[in-house]
Structure 1
């Protein structure tokens, strides 16, 4: 019977169901009031949340006479300090998105949902909202009592203050988002004067509603049911991934510590079954039941467990960052000796190198040369051959430029229609029709290579040059 494949399959399924039976997934039937315990990982969590400070302050930085970073969608321009990126250069955006997508996959494969636990906007905003809730309403038990208590003036005052602050934070979030797409200072002027554009008003209102509902009410439910990352993380994590892990070898069997007992009971493990790891979990899972969908790798359970271990006189690290293979003694290689770490790092390096190359070689002006097809060439009365071209000058700067067009290097070539410089408008493409004439006796081949040069200087006196290859078509020789 033991060799029957069906029996083995049934045994595995039973084991999985038994494990899943220990999982706790809050489907919204109760509100989680997570306890806040000080510790190393709580400090790191607050430090990591500071990555969102530039989201609020970034739009107010200036560069010369404009906003330092501005996504100017109406004019299809992206200003980054002294560089203006136009749609023609958005291939770099693809590399940037590839870089962050792979980075997310790399971090997840190596250390689980670190993004979710420390950096995700849902996690950070929820943490701020619940911190304010605790400051106004007290610790978890007091908050639960207030929620269940009768409606009094004190309760109305506390709740109204909390929700008002939540709405203010949500409004600042929406305004800060819009400020990246328009001049931030003008945005506040229009806001004070009730003169905001309809698009800005709708966007801000959507952010207010979204932030207020997601961070104030849904909280961990957004991580469970709305976030697609929670669904796909399972294919990125394996037994070598370093995660907050309960050391069941050391912790089991669990046993309470009796009051006044000086020495640990040798018949029980180090876990004293205090449930503090569950009390501090923002999603309400029990890490002792193994890795679960609700675990966002915030490591707050590590702080809670370590504080209890200190109190009962037992070693820290009952819950710690560890891989399952390391926990079971199957893996002892450091992170830098794992092949996939090097593969991921190589892909990341290639992506960031491409972005760096693109930024370094980004020209302030670019030209495109379009050869007229009808006719390919015209025989002039003086015997010279003439070709017609449309020159398109792209100016990526925030100032108009006087751009000179030349065709050097071709014996006898005369450029007609480019006597005056082209006034290239800022952030736009300016066309100019020109003609190139070459004496027939100077034309040795049917298709003669040509190189058009566009030259100008910016307001600092820096020389700007762009070139584009084309051809000069003549009669068959």
Structure 2
């Protein structure tokens, strides 16, 4: 390792000596302060509010978003995805992964700080706790106080609301996989299937325990993303950073020779994981920016410039110039893969065929020679109707000479969402065949909707065509 590469590693170990990691022995009661980044957290929570509301939205007479696993249909508003379209799911997963990697490379654990399920629900739970039990000082005193009627009343009210939120969370998740209103009715009448009760129990337990009790411990010990963040972060990544040159030495504001940091520890008091950002970037930092809001409020009161704690990169703090995003190889790579995934998803969504068609040539036998000398081939037609209406499909041949469908053609009835195999027979006189293996195009055209037209290429086998 070169001397330049070794420097940040040595600095990391130097900072780690002063790190304090809460291993669960204390409950962190973070102070809630208004500010720009606190507002960002509330805005990000709106996405999860949509999660709670979306299953109850209706679209064209059905649930707007429904993952109907028994019938193998995913309804996304006016789009219905089938198992044959599952390749788009892989692109969605790639898109989400590249978004996560790219954002982390640019601005650290933004997902953890603003959008993560654990972060948002913990924030909601502690907000309820703050409204019922008071500010952090009052909550600590209440925890340490002996049990009384007041303490019992406050604790019961808080935990009842927590459990209600956990129940709503679990039922909402289950509602994505079945009709939401029917599900509520079946839960309320105790008529829900066992799998619904298992899902509800798992979500109630997980939400109540993780968001109500474990909180930052989930980020420290259970979340795999927290363990690999160092791989995604480099010296160009902007993170909440304490300006040591400006802030040190710490001390009272009235004392000359001290830096801008007055050692009020408000940045620690607002941190949901109990991190002291002044000791360097730590495993527990979820880059939520609460420490920035807290420090800026203190700087405003002292009439000093904001930014003692700010989003900055290691290069910026070392006096180097931060390169633009389009010159950072990792960001370029992530963005390129992201755009390719988006393009694939858009293409797939806009080119979903109304019918999924497959025509399989019978292999045993490949052909039959009739008593009059004609050659006959058998085919199995498998057509899945992805539309909500019944379709009557007329089968014909395109561009084939010397070939004919037995009985002149056939009508296939396709019911919505069902695949019923049908059989076709093609015949040809040996003298009309120009080769032992002839390409044939089948055409399926809807009687009701002529614009629904599918073609499928197959082959016609003659003697010696193996």
Please, what TM-score do these two structures have when normalized by structure 1? 0.93
Q: Of residues 458, 462, 465 in structure 1, which corresponds to 2:453? A: 465
Task: State the distance in 1 between where 2:309 and 2:450 align.
Answer: 60
Task: State the distance in 1 between where 2:400 and 2:96 align.
Answer: 47
Partner of 2:372: 382
Task: State the distance in 2 between where 1:378 and 1:222 align.
Answer: 68
Partner of 1:415: 405
- Aligned in 2, Cα 1:72/1:462: closer, same or farther, shift over 3 Å? farther
Task: Give secondary structure in 2 for the equivalent of 1:428.
Answer: coil
Aligned residues: 463
Cα contact 1:113–1:297 (8 A) shared by 2: yes
Task: Give secondary structure in 2 for the equivalent of 1:57.
Answer: helix
Pairing 1:62-211 to 2, within 5 Å after superposition: 62-211=58-207
Task: State the distance in 2 between where 1:403 and 1:440 align.
Answer: 29
1:344 aligns with 2:326: no
1:367 aligns with 2:367: no
Task: State the distance in 1 between where 2:112 and 2:351 align.
Answer: 36
Deviation at 1:17, TM superposition (A): 4.6
Partner of 2:216: 220
Q: Of residues 420, 430, 436 in structure 2, which corresponds to 1:446? A: 436
- Aligned in 2, Cα 1:31/1:416: closer, same or farther, shift over 3 Å? same
Task: State the distance in 1 between where 2:398 and 2:62 align.
Answer: 37
- Aligned in 2, Cα 1:457/1:248: closer, same or farther, shift over 3 Å? farther
Cα contact 1:173–1:207 (8 A) shared by 2: yes
Deviation at 1:13, TM superposition (A): 8.8
Deviation at 1:476, TM superposition (A): 4.0
Cα deviation code 1:187-235 (max 9, x no counterpart): 1221222211111111011101110000000000000000000001111
Partner of 2:414: 424
Cα deviation code 1:419-452 (max 9, x no counterpart): 4422223223220011011222221011100111
Cα contact 2:236–2:322 (8 A) shared by 1: no
1:45 aligns with 2:33: no
Deviation at 1:14, TM superposition (A): 7.9
Deviation at 1:399, TM superposition (A): 3.3
- Aligned in 2, Cα 1:209/1:105: closer, same or farther, shift over 3 Å? same
- Aligned in 2, Cα 1:224/1:140: closer, same or farther, shift over 3 Å? same
Task: State the distance in 1 between where 2:394 and 2:170 align.
Answer: 45
Deviation at 1:271, TM superposition (A): 0.7
Deviation at 1:56, TM superposition (A): 1.1
- Aligned in 2, Cα 1:255/1:417: closer, same or farther, shift over 3 Å? farther
1:311 aligns with 2:301: yes
Please, what TM-score do these two structures have when normalized by structure 2? 0.95
Unaligned runs of 5+ in 1: 259-264
Task: State the distance in 1 between where 2:51 and 2:447 align.
Answer: 35
Deviation at 1:79, TM superposition (A): 1.4
Task: State the distance in 2 between where 1:266 and 1:336 align.
Answer: 44
Deviation at 1:12, TM superposition (A): 9.8
Task: State the distance in 1 between where 2:66 and 2:406 align.
Answer: 39
Task: Give secondary structure in 2 for the equivalent of 1:421.
Answer: strand
Partner of 2:312: 322
Task: Give secondary structure in 1 for the equivalent of 2:445.
Answer: strand
Cα contact 2:241–2:280 (8 A) shared by 1: yes
Partner of 2:383: 393
Task: Give secondary structure in 1 for the equivalent of 2:92.
Answer: helix
Partner of 2:232: 236
Q: More displaced, 334-343 or 210-219? A: 334-343
Task: Give secondary structure in 2 for the equivalent of 1:256.
Answer: coil
Deviation at 1:281, TM superposition (A): 0.1
Task: Give secondary structure in 2 for the equivalent of 1:392.
Answer: strand
